[in-house]
């Protein structure tokens, strides 16, 4: 897309330099640690799965036992390898032994642990790689996708009902299906198991639910002549475990923000930043497109005032994602259409912010979120706001368009609400197809001035965050007016200082050969 | 009927003529789009009391589902005189008036706690009432000098809320319920009342519920003092709190 805002490139470069300093500081501070969730993820990647008689996942049992035995700081893979080398007849048996606190205590490190665990590492990498190739093959067998990708949400709480709704949405034209998680799943320190039929405000993210929905969308592919992307939420206390499950079941997109859990779910900053790194490494290898969550700043605070914070957070998310091995095409940066519709020239501000994001991150797919804050229950005005949202989305070349529901703020969408949203977006997308190529913005007009002002604000904010470091900035409440201390928040007890010999064979493999290099 | 002869107590919907009963409804039937589905929609409208149903949209929204928009004339009417005045209504007052009244009547700040309970992770409702920015151009309770407004955020366990209420000698608790799937909000709201009663705190404070699927009648039924539905402004809640806390704490009023 031709740049239209005449944004000063030096300023954009300075923002990126600040973001780099922020990310380096995060890496330096978090590198000495691992987390219980990261180690459970290593176990899942090695093939540890299932639950015990009390419905507690085996990865949790093993990590808890290793923790108690004071052995987690060495890395969970070391102990699976040691158990295998000492005679365990497979990963299930190794996990079963390690889940027993007495056995976890008595097991000593085996000199050939690495050789013993290596076939499991390779099997996981092969499974992730073949899923990625399969996605590329399927996408390649159809005509190029029409943009922005229309993204619909299902949230019935019952995976089987979700499938009914997802099929209806996909047939109507949805290109991405996100299964919203049950409320509060982000605060569970384990991943539920199996197919689930009761959730609140959404459906539990489980590996079996992923598999069921993936199979349903694949079944639809020949009928509708399109590949439908499956989306879930790689966030909360089990962030990297969800990434592993998604990589195994060929999900295509993951909500995966570096700061969201800290700010909006009060999860400990160290826990989140360590987990985001490992989850993003998995997503990088799996060829998954991540979506960041900057839209959330706008739903809790004023969209005009918060625009610089959104942009600053996008720069930070971009840098942390690149450092974890994601490539620009995988970094779906989030923002939202949340300006008060009664504000004079509000739409011009929306256009300015959306166009600026497009120009500043030209290689990244932008995830554009619909109005929610100013949806009042007046469904007629709501439908009109959504129309302006689609118009702005198409006119500024957004990539992933989350469909707004006219009944937002009233109830979880009806089948008809979703159809109306898809119909509206498809009609408008075609109706204004080449508008972006036709319009220019007046030099020093409202749009151009607003975009410049937001960029300047972002630079100031990034400069101050780079000076204090991200942890102090979070403690000072720089983002969304919310203060989060290093020592506070949920899941702090799950942060573990590594020993010098710590090993995570997956990280080591991806450090040797960044995922992007293979495609 | 002439304007003078209109019985304002007995009403029907108004399209473009007095008591013409015109309504517009939309619904989805789990039927493929067909003549049968169309007839089914008309008959369904008839059972809702809609005469002469006119189907303006019969849209297949999925292979087995058809979405209908139907216009028609509703046969039912309501007797307005039989409806009791809404109890949740308090006289409208500006923020400055409320602050001044609190100072005059209590001589201290009223402690108001707000949150979403248990699994409900949504702060949109409670933020609209508490955040200084407020909602729809109306400032939130944190901007009032008369309230010591404490927004505890989302996912607050009932037990913790009751503890904080006791420790802070709260005058009022505001609970926002956004997630309503499988009636989960009813359970959480009821749990709170039960625990406040068990702890002997219920009568010491004003208890208010708000949310998309809440209204005054439902809140009363659940044991709350008031319920506020979608679109409620902070000023309405503030005025209600002022009157209700005054009523409770009659003795505390300054001379």
A402, pLDDT greater than 60: yes
Output the pLDDT for position B184.
79
Closest by CA position to A117, among listed A88, A74, A77: A77
CA–CA distance, B49 with B72 (Å, rounded to integer): 9
Q: Would the CB atoms of B212 and A377 count as touching at under 8 Å? A: yes
A517, pLDDT greater than 50: no
Residue of A49, A257, A275, A295 with catalytic role: A295
The answer to whether B151 and B115 have CB atoms below 8 angstroms apart is yes
- The more confident residue out of A352 and B184 is A352
Could you say which residues from 191 to 250 on chain A have a Cβ atom under 8 Å away from some Cβ of chain B? 198-201
Output the pLDDT for position B137.
73
Three-class secondary structure of residue A216 per DSSP: helix
Nearest to A377 among B26, B63, B230 (CB): B230
Domains of chain A: residue spans and CATH: 33-121 (no CATH), 149-449 (3.20.20.440)
CA–CA distance, A321 with A331 (Å, rounded to integer): 7
B165, pLDDT greater than 90: yes
Using 50, 70 and 90 to split pLDDT, how confident is the model at A101?
very high
The dihedrals phi and psi of A61, each to the nearest 5 degrees, come to: -60, -45
Residue identified by tokens 């609400």 is: A417
Q: What is the pLDDT of residues A63-77, one digit of tens each?
A: 999 999 999 999 999
Strands of the sheet containing B226-228, edge to edge, are: B147-151, B110-115, B172-177, B206-211, B226-228
Cβ-Cβ contacts under 8 Å, B230 against chain A:
376-377, 409-410
B3, pLDDT greater than 70: no
The proportion of chain A whose per-residue pLDDT surpasses 70, expressed as a percent, equals 99
State the pairing for strand pair B65-74/B22-29. Answer: antiparallel
Domain B10-79: give its CATH code: 3.30.30.60
Q: What is the pLDDT of residues B74-98, one digit of tens each?
A: 999 998 887 765 555 667 888 999 9
Which distant-in-sequence residues (6+ apart) come within 8 Å of A29 by Cβ? A270, A469, A471
Q: What is the DSSP letter of A56?
A: -
CA of B111 vs chain A CAs: smallest distance (Å): 22
Nearest to A415 among B65, B180, B181 (CB): B65
A518, pLDDT greater than 50: no
The answer to whether A107 and A62 have CB atoms below 8 angstroms apart is no
A319, pLDDT greater than 70: yes
Three-class secondary structure of residue A320 per DSSP: helix
Q: What is the mean pLDDT of residues A310-330?
A: 97
Output the pLDDT for position B255.
39
Encoded tokens for A393: 């989305």
A515, pLDDT greater than 70: no
The answer to whether A355 and A388 have CB atoms below 8 angstroms apart is no
Least confident of A258-262, A367-371, B7-11: B7-11
Output the pLDDT for position B16.
94
B155, pLDDT greater than 90: no
CA–CA distance, B42 with A231 (Å, rounded to integer): 39
Using 50, 70 and 90 to split pLDDT, how confident is the model at B132?
confident
Using 50, 70 and 90 to split pLDDT, how confident is the model at B125?
confident
Angle, to 10 degrees, between the axis of helix A76-85 and the axis of helix A113-140?
120
Asked if B184 reaches chain A (Cβ–Cβ under 8 Å), the answer is yes
Output the pLDDT for position B121.
78
Output the pLDDT for position A264.
83
The dihedrals phi and psi of B56, each to the nearest 5 degrees, come to: -95, -20
Residue identified by tokens 């959730």 is: A199
Q: Would the CB atoms of B179 and A201 count as touching at under 8 Å? A: yes
Closest by CA position to A175, among listed A123, A224, A118, A127: A224
Q: Would the CB atoms of A415 and B67 count as touching at under 8 Å? A: yes
How many angstroms separate the most distant Cα atoms in chain B? 74
B134, pLDDT greater than 90: no
Q: What is the DSSP letter of B80?
A: G
Closest by CA position to A39, among listed A312, A331, A304, A238: A238
Within 13 Å of residue A226, how many CA atoms lie on the same side as its CB?
A: 19
Q: What is the pLDDT of residues A121-148, one digit of tens each?
A: 999 999 999 999 999 999 999 999 999 9
Q: What is the pLDDT of residues A471-509, one digit of tens each?
A: 999 999 888 777 899 999 999 999 999 999 999 999 999
A451, pLDDT greater than 60: yes
B248, pLDDT greater than 90: no
Q: Is the dihedral of CA A368, A374, A376, A381 positive or negative?
A: negative
Encoded tokens for A214: 């993936």
The dihedrals phi and psi of B135, each to the nearest 5 degrees, come to: -150, 135
Q: What is the mean pLDDT of residues B40-67?
A: 96
Tell me the domain boundaries of chain B.
10-79, 95-249
Q: What is the mean pLDDT of residues A395-410?
A: 93
Output the pLDDT for position B88.
53
The answer to whether A1 and A437 have CB atoms below 8 angstroms apart is no
Name the β-bridge partners of B59: B67
Q: What is the DSSP letter of A410?
A: T
Q: What is the pLDDT of residues A427-448, one digit of tens each?
A: 999 999 999 999 999 999 999 9
Within 13 Å of residue A466, how many CA atoms lie on the same side as its CB?
A: 19
Mean per-residue pLDDT over chain B, rounded? 88
Mean per-residue pLDDT over chain A, rounded? 95
Nearest residue of chain A to residue B26 (CA atoms): A416
Within 13 Å of residue B131, how many CA atoms lie on the same side as its CB?
A: 19
Could you say which residues from 384 to 423 on chain A have a Cβ atom under 8 Å away from some Cβ of chain B? 409-412, 414-416, 419-420
Asked if B28 reaches chain A (Cβ–Cβ under 8 Å), the answer is yes
Q: What is the mean pLDDT of residues A457-462?
A: 97
B204, pLDDT greater than 80: yes
Give domain B95-249's CATH number out of 3.20.20.70, 3.40.50.280, 3.50.30.10, 3.40.50.720.
Answer: 3.40.50.280
Output the pLDDT for position B14.
94
Output the pLDDT for position A519.
38
The answer to whether A473 and A485 have CB atoms below 8 angstroms apart is no
């Amino acid at each position: 897309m031709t740049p239209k805002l005449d944004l000063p490139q030096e300023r954009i470069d300075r923002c990126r330099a600040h973001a780099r300093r922020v990310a380096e500081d995060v890496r330096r501070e978090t590198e000495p640690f691992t987390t219980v969730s990261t180690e459970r993820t290593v176990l899942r990647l090695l093939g540890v799965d299932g639950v015990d008689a009390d419905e507690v996942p085996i990865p949790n049992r093993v990590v808890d036992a290793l923790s108690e035995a004071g052995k987690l700081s060495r890395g969970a893979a070391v102990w699976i390898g040691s158990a295998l080398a000492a005679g365990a007849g497979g990963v299930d048996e190794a996990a079963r032994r390690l889940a027993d606190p007495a056995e976890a205590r008595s097991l000593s490190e085996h000199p050939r642990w690495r050789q013993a665990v290596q076939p499991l590492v390779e099997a996981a990498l092969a499974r992730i790689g073949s899923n990625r190739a399969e996605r590329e093959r399927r996408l390649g067998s159809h005509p190029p996708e029409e943009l922005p990708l229309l993204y619909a949400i299902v949230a019935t709480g019952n995976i089987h009902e979700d499938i009914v709704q997802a099929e209806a949405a996909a047939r109507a034209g949805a290109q991405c299906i996100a299964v919203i998680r049950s409320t509060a799943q982000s605060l569970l320190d384990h991943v539920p198991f199996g197919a689930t039929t009761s959730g609140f405000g959404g459906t539990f993210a489980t590996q079996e639910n992923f598999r069921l929905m993936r199979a349903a969308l694949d079944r639809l592919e020949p009928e509708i002549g399109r590949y439908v992307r499956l989306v879930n939420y790689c966030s909360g206390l089990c962030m990297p475990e969800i990434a592993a499950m998604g990589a195994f079941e060929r999900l295509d997109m993951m909500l995966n923000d570096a700061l969201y859990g800290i700010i909006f779910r009060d999860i400990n900053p160290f826990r989140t930043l360590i987990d985001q790194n490992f989850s993003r490494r998995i997503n990088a290898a799996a060829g998954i497109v991540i979506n960041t969550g900057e839209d959330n700043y706008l739903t809790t605070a004023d969209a005009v005032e918060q625009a610089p914070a959104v942009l600053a957070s996008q720069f930070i998310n971009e840098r942390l994602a690149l450092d974890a091995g994601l490539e620009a095409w995988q970094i779906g940066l989030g923002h939202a259409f949340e300006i008060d519709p009664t504000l004079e020239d509000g739409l011009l501000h929306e256009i300015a912010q959306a166009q600026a994001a497009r120009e500043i991150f030209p290689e990244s797919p932008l995830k554009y979120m619909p109005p929610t804050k100013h949806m009042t229950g007046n469904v007629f005005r709501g439908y009109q706001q959504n129309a302006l949202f689609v118009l702005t989305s198409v006119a500024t070349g957004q990539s992933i368009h989350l469909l707004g529901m006219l009944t937002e703020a009233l109830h979880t969408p009806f089948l008809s609400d979703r159809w109306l949203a898809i119909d509206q977006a498809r009609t408008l997308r075609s109706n204004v197809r080449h508008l972006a190529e036709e319009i220019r913005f007046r030099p020093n007009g409202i749009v151009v001035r607003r975009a410049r002002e937001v960029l300047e604000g972002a630079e100031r904010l990034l400069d101050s965050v780079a000076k204090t470091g991200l942890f102090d900035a979070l403690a000072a409440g720089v983002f969304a007016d919310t203060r989060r201390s290093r020592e506070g928040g949920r899941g702090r007890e799950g942060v573990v200082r590594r020993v010098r010999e710590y090993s995570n064979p997956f990280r080591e493999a991806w450090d040797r050969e960044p995922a992007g290099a293979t495609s | 009927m002439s304007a003078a002869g209109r019985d304002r107590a007995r009403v029907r919907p108004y399209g473009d003529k007095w008591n013409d009963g015109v309504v517009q409804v939309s619904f989805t039937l789990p039927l493929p789009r067909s003549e049968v589905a169309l007839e089914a929609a008309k008959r369904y409208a008839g059972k809702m009391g809609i005469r002469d149903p006119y189907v303006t949209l019969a849209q297949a929204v999925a292979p087995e589902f058809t979405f209908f928009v139907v216009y028609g004339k509703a046969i039912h009417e309501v007797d307005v005189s039989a409806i009791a005045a809404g109890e949740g209504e308090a006289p409208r007052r500006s923020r400055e008036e409320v602050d001044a009244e609190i100072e005059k009547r209590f001589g201290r700040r009223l402690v108001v706690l707000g949150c979403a309970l248990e699994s409900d992770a949504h702060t949109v409702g409670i933020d609209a009432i508490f955040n200084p920015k407020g909602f729809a151009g109306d400032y939130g309770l944190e901007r009032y000098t008369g309230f010591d407004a404490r927004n505890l955020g989302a996912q607050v366990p009932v037990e913790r809320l009751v503890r904080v209420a006791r420790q802070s000698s709260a005058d009022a608790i505001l609970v926002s319920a956004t997630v309503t799937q499988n009636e989960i909000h009813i359970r959480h709201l009821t749990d709170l009342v039960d625990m406040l009663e068990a702890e002997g705190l219920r009568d010491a404070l004003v208890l208010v519920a708000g949310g998309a699927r809440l209204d005054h009648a439902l809140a009363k039924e659940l044991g709350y003092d008031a319920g506020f539905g979608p679109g409620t402004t902070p000023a309405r809640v503030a005025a209600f709190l002022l009157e209700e806390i005054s009523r409770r704490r009659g003795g505390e009023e300054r001379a």
